Amino acid sequence: MSIPYYKDIVENNNLDDIPDAITYYNNQLEEARKELEIKGSVTKMAARMPGIIEYRYSQLQEIEAICKHLEILRTKEFSAAFKSHTNSNRSMTSRDAEKYANGDDEVIELSILINSVSVIRDKFLGLTKGLESKHYQLTNLIKMKVAGFDDFEIFFN
């Protein structure tokens, strides 16, 4: 069951929930890292893998949607700032107006939020790669078991 940060942030345009969402997804990431371990019954782990991958991938998609929403808002804010600079001073070049627009407080604030959400997104991308690797390893272990190699052990350092 997922906390509806996507709905609150994207559909309701409530950017005040972003710090809570970042905290929530960071906690989920720590919990998910435990799912990368291979211990216990290999067949039970393999049976649970599709559900785990689907759940974590859907969380990644929620984060992606939040990030995309922030990028759209940043583009909108940048356009408004750019337009205000070009309309207020006709002699200003487009390049100068772009520099001023990029320095606008709202544009900078949205850029910082995008960066914060992007860090979480990238960590979840790494997590999904780890889950794919675990699935591959479990598949190979099951193949070894089917081939008759029942006496293998997994050692942890």
- The predicted-structure confidence for 37-95, as pLDDT tens digits, reads as follows 988 888 888 899 999 999 999 999 999 999 999 999 999 988 888 888 777 666 777 88
Does residue 5 contact residue 65 with C-beta atoms inside 8 Å?
no
Q: In the block, which residue shows the tokens 């929530």?
A: 24
**Hey, how many other C-beta atoms are within 10 angstroms of the C-beta on 80?**
14
Average pLDDT, the chain: 87
